[in-house]
Structure 1
Amino acid sequence: MKKALRVAVSQLNTITGALNENVKNLEQGIALGHEIGADALIFPELCLNGLNCQGLSKNRTFLRETRRTIDEIIQFSKGKQPLIVFGFLEAEEDCHYSSAGVIQNGKWLGSYRKIVIQPENDGVDTAFFSSGEEGIVLNIEGIKAGIVIGNDLWDRYDLISSYDRYGVCVLFHLSAFTFLSGEYAESEQRLFSRSKDFEMGIVHANAIGGQDQWIYSGNSMIFDGHSRIKARGKMLEEDFVVADIELPLRGRKAETRATRCGLRFQEWPVKRIDCDFSASFKPEINSKIYDYPEDESAAICAALQLSLRDYVGKNRFEKVVLGLSGGIDSAVVAALSVASLGRERVVGVIMPSKYTTEASVKDAEELANALQIKTITLPIDDLMDSYGDVLGTEVELKAGSLCEQNLQPRIRANLLLALSNHNGWLVLTTGNKSEWACGYTTLFGDSAGGFAPLKDLYKHQVYALGRTLNQALGTPAITENHFSKVPTAELYPGQTDQDRLPPYEEVDPIVRLMVEEGYSADEVVKEGFREESVRKVWKMYLRSEFKRRVSPVGPKLTKVSFNGEQGLPITQQWV
């Protein structure tokens, strides 16, 4: 015997700590769920409090306000059709949980506490959370639904097996999975496999939005009891996902698929709650299965736009400011900023020195004109001379010396930060992952700022992103000069990046193996790379951790970004 269930997911972009605003968003979702006749409405993990609350998780006032806002949601739900399952921060004595609250028609029915607490790429700051100890089964007039959060679905096979034994035919899965380059479609395959393994429907409600370095990808999905995808939400955008799914009515089982295969697990304690099947009217709905981005660069472009837009907006900045050098990195950050925020919220600053070529100034000016952004030109030669006068005989600023090279980006950083202080603008840095890995940046110079959009992007990806942005903006603002010129910081006559680094064609794959795959220099050499290049990059990587530790936060796109994840010591004598 089968029964149809109309399920909906409100894929929300919430703001950490903004309880009142988040409640309004939840209430809008509840109203829409009622309007379309949803039997069950699922929200993402921690949607009430916001993600990565960190120390707020233990703030007593914040927890008290959380309870108050839950009471508001309960009151709002009176007379509304859907069974509501939403993510919130729960506290009991000294323990704190990522929990799923269950509400229906003005009544609090109970909560489920996330069991698997693991920080690696979970998208949730788990350092403050404890593990739950029981499952929950909702009986919706014969349809039994289990609740799981995050990695519970993958890593607690025993819990899902217990649900199977209790006759569960659909799982409500609250999550906050993040965007990772090249892996954003992986969740769908895992959801399909889990649905097929247990012949259960799955309602996957995933968070969306930028929060510090994290980018939550959305892509909420609904699978029916035959593992068929019935709806897929938008990627990297807010959405309301709805579908009708047919589910088998099951009783308690003496044997499950797992036990038939000879697998034995502990029996999880399960709390059972009876719910009403109150959806009396069912207007026609339009379930959609949205496609993934057409290529990897388009996906990265969309992810970075969301990250930058949310970082600027949620931190209440009106505008961003960045230095325009005429090079590819600053051109891409400027174009990304316009695509994310609009041209009126982007300011470019051209800061030429005696080593800056006329061609670079022209490229920077033409970029700004094409993007139609405000520009400020602040030459730094007089400031360089002033430093020389002040330092006097203590430091001789010889042309091309390391001291003279590093003073130039530090002067530029001071100018950008002065504009930031005066106007309240956010300073964007323009370094990429290849440069950060090698320490090819000036401490408190070009590395200084409030947000680093390209921090987890390799140099070759920066070029690809530039072409994608030209398409997105509908104009070749980033010209062929930007793409074809030899990379250089122009800190002394004739300088190129390859004076200090191997070619980026070598640097990028070497860095990826070292940082993301954990290869040693010897292991990288065995992969066929030139030993001289590998040893050079290895040494620069291990000796530049002190620079990365004080770098601004940037969007996380890979499994190991430079947001404190690589775990290197600053002080070491390995190399």
Structure 2
Amino acid sequence: VNLVGGNDGIIFDGASLIADDQGDIILQAPAFEEFVETVELDSRKPDARGITGAECESILDALVLGIRDYASKNGFGKALLGLSGGIDSALVTALAAEAIGAENLLCVMMPSPFSSEGSIKDSEELVKNLGCESRLEPISDTFNVLLDQMNLHKPTKGGESLAAENMQSRLRGVILMAISNAEGRLLLSTGNKSELAVGYCTLYGDTNGGLAVLGDVLKTEVWKISRHLNERAGREIIPVKIIDKKPSAELAPNQFDQDSLPPYEVMDPILKMYFEQKSSPAEIVAAGHDAERVYWILNKVEHPANEFKRQQLPPTLIISKNAIGVGRRRPVTHKYRRVA
């Protein structure tokens, strides 16, 4: 809001305006005259454009500072993480290298029988780009021994043997925590907000760690921030092959996230409205989202098993209005369910 009128030799031109969070002008008042207007804004309207370049820059800076201060103020000079070849662990690697120095970061690659050759090569390329220390700790032999001991079969497709799939993630968690204990390193958890919201994670596996770096960053935001990081650096720090790769946990043959979840491009706007704008299911549907999908996603969010997981997450770096975990607690024991 600007003043209008003359005061001694100073002339105030008016021309007040209202702009949205993208900088687009919604209303421009005339210059050099008084003007009164009432404008109603729909703060619950979803932003299909997602985060901007400036927001990517701010989030990058915030996460780097968060890692650096959490590590230094808690006595950690070195850190480690599990590097899978996926975008989440790749982004955390780049952030941590900037925060504490690449020479202080250990990237542990732990291929299983279902890890693709591309994932290993992509991880090696990322490590080379950043100059981090890396270590190879295959889990295939240990995994096969445990399958025999527990009388479980190796999965032939995603969802066929959840126990066998989760066993791989937990084996990796054991290795990472052992290194953390032996070498005094801070273990960085790499799960994103989208996965953690709907429980697409393994308790005591990929949720292990001392700090959840991306726990308040949606998957679609992870992609945008990763591209922005490369643009800011003026070179390909995170290999484009990792950014463009179809998301997969690689815990079973030919397994992809979208076998179990809606596309992140569909799910994330719904999660953003629900968490950050506190929209009701009806309001989310009214904004144009499919009702059946909205209720499926929100029932996943509110499921007791998933709240149980979230309450055991490491401390999360908060960059939004409503982070899951510390920023949002629900009773584990309940029969609450969203119904259309």
Q: Give the TM-score taking structure 1 as reference length.
A: 0.48
1:438 aligned partner? 198
Match of 1:542 among 302, 313, 317: 302
Q: Quick check: which one's strand share is greater?
A: 1
Moved more, 533-542 or 523-532: 523-532
- The Cα offsets for residues 112-148 of structure 1, whole Å up to 9 and x where unpaired, read as xxxxxxxxxxxxxxxxxxxxxxxxxxxxxxxxxxxxx
Identity of aligned residues (%): 40
**In the alignment, structure 1 residue 373 sits paired with structure 2 residue 135:** no
The equivalent residue for 2:123 is 364
- For 1:308, which of 59, 64, 67 is the aligned residue? 67
CA distance in 1, matches of 2:236, 2:167: 33
Give the Cα–Cα distance (whole angstroms) in 2 for the partners of residues 482 and 379 of structure 1: 20
Residue matched to 1:403:
163
2:258 corresponds to which letter in structure 1?
Q
In the alignment, is the contact (CA less than 8 A) between 1:336 and 1:469 conserved in 2?
Answer: no
- Take 2:232 and 2:99, find their aligned partners in 1: how far apart are those partners? 11
Q: 1:561 aligns with which of 282, 300, 323?
A: 323
* Equivalence map 1:14-413=2 (5 Å): 295-392=54-151, 395-396=152-153, 398-399=155-156, 400-413=160-173
Number of the residue aligned with 1:423: 183
Q: What is the CA–CA distance in structure 2 between the aligned matches of 1:355 and 1:416, rounded to whole Å? A: 19
The one-letter code of the counterpart of 1:542 is: E
TM-fit CA distance, 1:571? 1.2
The alpha-carbon deviation at position 458 of structure 1 amounts to: 1.0
Displacement of 1:518: 2.2
How far residue 436 of structure 1 moved from its aligned partner, in angstroms, is 1.0
Q: Is 1:518 equivalent to 2:275 in the alignment?
A: no
Are the equivalent residues in 1 in contact too, given 2:77–2:100 (CA < 8 A)? no
Pairwise CA RMSD of aligned residues? 1.8
State the secondary structure of the residue aligned to 1:557. coil
* Partners of 1:521 and 1:382 in 2: CA distance: 46
User: Structure 1: which 5+ residue stretches go unaligned?
Assistant: 1-181, 184-292
Residues in 2 aligned to 1:501 and 1:508: alpha-carbon distance in whole angstroms: 11
Shift of 1:448: 0.8
Residue 196 of structure 1 is matched in structure 2 by none
Partner secondary structure for residue 554 of structure 1: coil
Residue in 1 that maps onto 2:332: 570
| TM-superposition CA deviations, 1:298-328 (whole Å, max 9, x none) | 1111111111100011111121101111111
Q: Which one of 484, 488, 495 corresponds to residue 248 of structure 2?
A: 488
Q: Deviations over 1:127-173 (max 9, x none)?
A: xxxxxxxxxxxxxxxxxxxxxxxxxxxxxxxxxxxxxxxxxxxxxxx
Query: Counterparts of 1:435 and 1:305 in 2: how far apart (Å)?
Result: 21
Cα distance in 2, alignment partners of residues 501 and 391 from structure 1: 29
How far apart, CA to CA, are the structure 1 residues paired with 2:180 and 2:57?
Answer: 31
The 8 Å contact of residues 64 and 95 in structure 2, kept in 1 or not, is answered as yes
Letter in 2 for 1:564: V
Deviation, 1:462, is 0.7
Give, in whole Å, the separation in 2 of the partners of 1:541 and 1:573: 13
Counterpart of 1:8? none
Output the CA distance in 1 between the equivalents of 2:219 and 2:228.
15
Change (3 A) 1:521 1:316: same
Is residue 2:217 matched to residue 1:457? yes
Q: Which runs of 5+ in 2 are unaligned?
A: 1-20, 23-51
The letter of the residue matching 2:280 is: S
Q: Tell me which amino acid in the other structure corresponds to 1:334.
A: T
**Count of residue pairs the alignment pairs up:** 283
Specify whether residues 321 and 473 from structure 1 end up closer, same or farther in structure 2 by C-alpha distance, changes over 3 A only: farther
Residue 563 of structure 1, CA deviation: 3.3
Q: Would you tell me which structure has more helix in proportion to its own residues?
A: 2
User: Which protein shows a greater Rg?
Assistant: 1
> For the residues of structure 1 that align with 2:324 and 2:140, how far apart are their CA atoms?
33
Shift of 1:341: 1.3
> Which AA in structure 2 matches 1:361?
I
Cα deviation, residue 460, structure 1? 1.5
Q: 8 Å contact 1:323–1:330 — kept in the other structure?
A: yes
Q: Judge conservation of contact 2:191–2:201 (CA < 8 Å) in 1.
A: yes
The structure, 1 or 2, with the larger RCO (C-alpha pairs under 8 Å, 6+ apart) is 2
Q: CA deviation at 1:415?
A: 0.4
Q: What is the CA deviation profile of residues 54-113 of structure 1, one whole-angstrom value per residue up to 9, with x for unaligned ones?
A: xxxxxxxxxxxxxxxxxxxxxxxxxxxxxxxxxxxxxxxxxxxxxxxxxxxxxxxxxxxx
Deviations 1:157-208 (A, max 9, x none): xxxxxxxxxxxxxxxxxxxxxxxxx79xxxxxxxxxxxxxxxxxxxxxxxxx
Which residue is 1:507 aligned to? Answer: 267
Three-state SS of the structure 2 residue aligned to 1:404 is: helix
Distance 1:563 1:459 in 2: 17
Q: Residue 311 of structure 1: SS of its match in structure 2?
A: helix
AA in 1 matched with 2:138: P
1:413-457 CA distances to partner (integer Å, 9 max, x unpaired)?
100000000000011111111111111110111011110111111
Displacement of 1:389 after TM fit? Answer: 2.9
Moved over 6 A (4+): none
